[in-house]
Structure formats: C-alpha cells, structure tokens
Chain A
C-alpha cells in the first residue's frame, strides 16, 4: 500500500548519515588504535590521515543527522515517531531544540556531537597524544552511534532510530488506511515542564560537561598504555579545568531551571538526577587538585589517575541511573523507562572504555611514580590532598545514598528514601562545607613542601579575624532562622557560614597581597572565592527562605473538619487561597488576584496576574508595587503543571507558584435577589446560615464610605453568620443623587452571597435583598516564598566559572587575544543568563 502525504526523503537521508557515522566511528577508532601502536613515521602518518578523514566524515554525518531531525520536527512530519512524540503544532520555534533533546535519541546525538567538537580540538592541539586519545573518543562514539542505530543484539533491541516511522512503530486501525496521516492532527509535544528557555540551553551545556570528562580519561589511557606516567598531567590540566567549569555551570543551570520553572520551590532538592551530575563534578575537581599537586611536587599522581577515571565512570553511572528507569519512584524528573536495552548499552560502554582503563591503572599501579618521603604537615600539598580526599568522600557519600534503588534491585530489599531526604544530605554536607571552607581559605597561604609557622600565622590571622567579625555581626543583624532541625544543625550552619566567609576573605586577600593583584595567576583563588561565595549564598538563601503564603495568619482559613489524629500542625500551612479581587495579607505584602489571561500561542496555558503591594505600616505609603504572573498549563486529562513567577531584587527574590486553580463552570447566573423585610436587630436565614441587621446609618463617614451631610445615603450594617461558624460584616448601601436612586451592593465571597439594601417599607422596616450564588468563585491557591540573597549563589557561580577559565587559558598557554575572548565570553554570557535574562 502506498501512503499519502508522507515525506520519506529526510528520514532516508538521516538514516544514511546515522549508518555513515556508525561506520566511520569504527573505522576511525581502529585506524587511531593502529596509529598509536606504530612508531614508524611514514606508516603512522598514513594511518593518522586515514583516521582523521574518517573522524571528520563522522562529524559531518552527525551534524547532518541533527539537521534532518530538526527539519522533521520543525515541519511537523508526524509520520516520524520522533516528531510525533516530541513536537506539536503549537510549540514555539524557540522550544524546537528543547523538544529534540527531550528524547533519548536527541540527547545522545547531542552528546556525540560534542565529542566530535572536543575531538577536533584534540586533533589540533594534542600532537603525539592524538592517536591514543582519539582512539578512545572514537570508541565512545561507536557506543553512542550504536544508540541511534536501533539494531537487535542478544535478542534485545539496542537503541532506537530517530527516523522510525510512526506507522511501523505503533499499531492502530488508522494505519490500514492510505490517508492515515490526515487522522494524526497533532503531535504530543514537549512536556510542559520543559517549556522554558533554560531547557534550550541547559542540556547542551550539561552534555558538553559530560562529554568533556571523556578527554581526561582518554589522556590517562594514553599515558598508561604508553607507560609514560606523569607527562600527561600538563596537557590534561586545561581539559580538566574545562570539564570542571562546564560541568559546574551546567549543573547550576539545571538548578536555575528548577528554580525558574519547577514547583518544588528552590534550585536544589537533592534529587537523584541532580546528584548524579554533581558527583562526577566533585570527583573531577578532586582530580584537578591532585594534578596541580603532582605538577608542583610530584605527589598524588595515582590519585590524579584514579579520580580522573572515576569521574568518567560516574558520568556513565549517572546515565545509567537517569535513563534506565531504575530511579522510578524516587525522582521527580528521571527519564522514563528505556529498560533492558539501555542497561546493555551502558554496560557495553563501561566494559568497552572504563574497565580497560581502570585495568591498566591497577596493572601499572606500582609503576606509577610516587614520592616515598612523608609530606610535611605544613606543606600546601598535604592540605590540598586532604581537601581532595574530603571532596571525593563526600561524592561517594552522595552517590551511596542516591543509589538506594540500585541496592533494592540487587539485594531485593524494600528500603525507601529517608523521611527527610534533603536533611540526610544537608547534615553531612554542611560539615563538608566547614572543612572545605577552612581548607580553601588556609590552603592558599601554605607553600609547597614547607611553610614557616610565623609566616602562616601572620597571614592567616587577618582573614580569620575579619571573617569572625562578619559572622558575629551577621548573627546579630541578620540571624539565620533555620531552627527546625535543632540547635546543633543551626550551629553547623553558622560554622559553615563562617568557614565560607573566611575562605572568601582569605582568597581575596591572597589575590591582593601575595599575588599583588596579578589576576592572570589568580585563577585558582578567584574560583575559590566564587565557590565559597556560592556556598555562603546557599546557606543564607536556604537557611532564611521564608514562606509568606502562611495560612495561619490570614482570615479565610476555616477549619471545617476536625483533625481526627488530633495532631497540632506545627509546620506552617504553605498554601494560601486567593479569591479573585479580594486583597489578602501575605507576609508584608497585600496580594490581590486580579485576573487571568490565556497565552497567545498555547491554548492550555493561563497566566494569573497577582498584584503585590507593600505599604509602610506607619505612613501608609506604598513601598513596593508589582505584578507577578505565575502560570499553569491545564492538560487534557486535568493535569496541572505550573510555572513560577519571581520578582527579582538585588537582595532577595519573591517567588510564587500556583498549586490549585478553580474550575470554571459556565452556569448562567440567573438567581435573583430575595427581598427580606427586616427591622433593626432582626435576623433572616439563607442557605448556609443567617444574617443580622445590626443598624442602618445615615451618611456615615468611616473607612469604607465617606459621605457628607449633604448626601442622601443609607448604609446597612449586617453581620453574616455562616453555618461553618464564621462571621462576616457586610455594608450594602443605597444613595440618592440627582433624583437618581442607586445601590451599592456588598458581597461575602466565602459564603457566595450578595447583599443589597433596596429600600424602606411603609412600616419602617428595611428591605434587604440577598442573592445566593452557587457557582464557585474564581480562586487560585498558591505558594509564595522569599529567597534572601539568592543572587550570591549566582554571582558566586559566575566568579567560580571566571576563575576556571582564567586558569584554563593560562595552563593552555593560549594567545592573549583568545584568552581575552574566552574570559569575556564566559563572563558576559553567564552574567546575561543568570542575572539579567529574566530579572
């Protein structure tokens, strides 16, 4: 049967390039291996040229595959399963890239393209190490392109081809018709959680970070296989720095994405997916420090090898955790099941690359030079090494706790996450932060080999004193109020805060006094300032995160069901309901839910406009006045997916997101006012209670009405007693001006009633009209937080990245122009992304 309106050409082209990339990766890997074993110049040169040719052909193929996928998705060719699953007609063009890396195939493609980019730089710079390093890179490429092939191996389908056709993959009656495409109206589209600009840029950066950890491993392999230990450290340092920078930035971009668009209320939740990418970074940083130690003293070479290899192993392990569905119930955002095939693929990958390199490492362990002499306790290398070990152990701790679902799988246990997952990590890592803060602060002033005690004390006393003064002042002026975990944890937070302030001061002082402001040599100190500033920012912003949507202090929280457990609720009720048009006190803000509007492009997306106003309690002057518009998607099956909106200030952020919205019923509001004739003091019933007419005043001048004696106005004072034992005041009024009678009705929203004063009867009773409205009122329920000093986190990250790139260009001995460009690029793009883009 021939099918109508299919566009098969782009898929065929794409498939061809997938095959070409696969074949060229094998060819290039073999040719590079061959070249690395040959010492004869002529023959080696022949293999090298061949390998390079195959590599660049592979690069072009992968770019072409990407172009084909992009073409298919952007043209909404739903005959391709990939486009059907990830694209949709309403998807804005800016999210097309995000929809490509939403799927497994697209993200692996991205990863392999980064390998090609990095491989090209290796070819340009690595000289005699090119062959062994590129052999490893191409082996990795072989496994990644295998992922795109979709072939059967051991009876299991390995990987999947992004150009598979919907009609071949799915079963359904429509596929027996030649015009089946006319039945597929729209694709499923990008998961609404991912419709955020961070999702466009964060995966490429993170995958570049993942891809970059391969290169140090490949360098380690090159030295181990040539038995040329040690000399790899110098060329690998820039790569390790690059990896540390990109991975670090990528992880925090993920945090920023979570902060901007997820509703767990923060940038870090110790989610397994987050941990899985953090661990390789920590180990890479530990390895980086060992490399620096080796370069300066000849120590720690074995650790440098081990950490480098393990960093890459944990990248693969993190892929395993996030992509095989093993995390299942423990993570909010792991990829969905890919099952056995992904396990096999990652297993092959580990066996193919990590195991041989690790094997070589252990085989040569005794041959790797190490210094037998004891390190001096007053030497820099000793404390740097301690720091690396602490980092490494904390990484092991994180991954050990994160791997819980893996233990369950292996040992058949049914252990679950601890009650307070975040605290489980925080209570250990706050101690790590104390140690690391003290080490990074003091470490700089130690000299390699040996440091005179007097020198050390004279240098360290100042930062120590300054940090102590700042911490104590902070304790009085701006105390951390995180008391829910007890005084011990609070003390640990203060110690960690002191340690990180100390590190910031000490490293800044080091830049100024020891390096005499020579910023070029100060990459390390700058990175340390940034890192510890980030830690300080995390401690303050999380420690003093303040829930302002606290239900206990507002009027409309009505307990309607007695708590059967009799539990007193100590934790604040963090959700607050706002009725449309009713100002509600929230922290120091008066918040009004004004109205909502539907997004122009996406029909299911609604923005809720909230007016925030902060008044000076004494003068009544408006201090702040702004509108936040958090939004939510209401999906076909009633799923609600919310995006927060945040007001950024220099010192704090006001963060809101919607947790529940009212469902509209389009009942006509046909109920009319029922008139009751009441004397003063009379009461009358309505559906949900009764109300009392307390008094009727003539021309009152009060908070609500400002009548003068010249007006003709009557205002009724009514108390509404609801059946739910609530009381509300209502003041309906009638006025006469220019012979015209007009009514000012009043409403009691929570009771859904409208009250109206419609006149006076002949026997001096008042006519009070009541209208009961059974249609639900518009409301939203939201959470709102204040994050204080969260900008310290982002500024710290930017400074850290700056330190990395300064070290990188110095270690790589890059030309001035390139260095300046690299530093400028990193600085400007990060400042734009983290501080300006959505401020």
Chain B
C-alpha cells in the first residue's frame, strides 16, 4: 500500500489522523480544566519541593497532561543532576 501511495504521491497520513491527535490533546485540557497558569504554578511548586531533596535540572523539566483509558494523568519528567551529600 505504501508503495502505491508513494507512487501516486499521496500523503501517507490522512488528515483524520491529524484531527484525531489534535482533538485528543485539546480534550485532555478541556476535561481537566487545568489552565496554563495553574500548570506553571504547579511546576514552580514541584521544583521547590523536589529541590529540597534533590538537585534537579530545572530547564529540563517537562509537565504534561496525558490520558489513558479514560483516566487523565499528570506526567512530570524531572531530570536529576545528582544527589546532594547529606550533612
């Protein structure tokens, strides 16, 4: 199929796949009603709490909402630089 599509110069991905992915993302935010401002505040608080225990790469932090089987979840990727030496 791919070969035929290429031969005909067609896009391999129909626009409905784009529509579906965009809808999925926008609905995660609609359903949880978490504003970008709240996400930023959450990120700042997370940094403050975790920094008390670990040294983290603040520029590398990523916080996002995802959805899986009807459950929304907050996903945070927080790169750790190194563990602090305890005093």
| Interaction A to B | no
Q: Which residues of B pack against A, CB within 8 Å?
A: none
